[in-house]
Amino acid sequence: MGKNRWISGHPRDALYIDQILPLFAEGDIHVLYLVRHPQEVAWSSINAPWAGNLSWLARLKEARRAARHWGQFGANAIAARDGRLGPNVKLVWHRDLLINPEAAMRGILEHVGEDYDERVVSAITKTTNSSFKEKTDSQAKLLQRADEIARHKLFCAAVTSEVADYMTEFGFEDYGSRSKMGGLYNALSPVWSKKNAS
């Protein structure tokens, strides 16, 4: 016999988690709070298909907007990490889904009361959001993305200026501190975006 589940994946639900939890009996709700590096979030945003025709200044503004949006979820993410939202809420690191998807999915399925099935790992590796087109090893992909972002100082500075405290709290590296040299505008230029989207 199948199980009936109601699933909501709307990001803004996380802003009201302290109001949502009391509506359910303990054990009737399982929350997964996914946290991704804010510079990676903003990078994906400025490299989204709809951003292809934006000017470099518009891309910089979009990076800051994405960082501010990420920051709105910071307080509840810290509460989830520290266990202050209760046992029904589990913090999940996006990085873990890339680097060790089996362990990450085992933890997730245990949290929601489901048995592990190896097929979920295959599914998650095919659908995990990435701004890279090539199919590479997940860990190499993560390192490649970080190195790519690190070359664009202005972008990194814009994001960090919005969420520096949360980045420190979560131990997120400022990718912009990795190298001394890098293009200021490359990541924000439509020409660069079209070249790397092919």
CATH architecture of 11-197: 3-Layer(aba) Sandwich (3.40)
What is residue 126's predicted lDDT score, i.e. its pLDDT?
A: 67
Residues facing 92 on adjacent strands: 34
The conformation of residue 89, written as its DSSP 8-state character, comes to: E
Could you report the average pLDDT of every consecutive run of 10 residues in the chain (198 residues)? 74 90 87 95 89 83 95 94 93 90 93 91 67 53 85 94 96 85 40 35
What is residue 131's predicted lDDT score, i.e. its pLDDT?
A: 45
| Calpha distance 158→164 (Å, rounded) | 10
Helices and strands in the chain, H and E counts: 10, 2
Q: Which residue has the tokens 């690190």?
A: 150
What is residue 134's predicted lDDT score, i.e. its pLDDT?
A: 43
Contact 189, 46 (CB under 8 A): no
Q: Which two tokens stand for residue 47?
A: 């490299």
Q: Where are the domains of the chain?
A: 11-197
What is residue 9's predicted lDDT score, i.e. its pLDDT?
A: 85
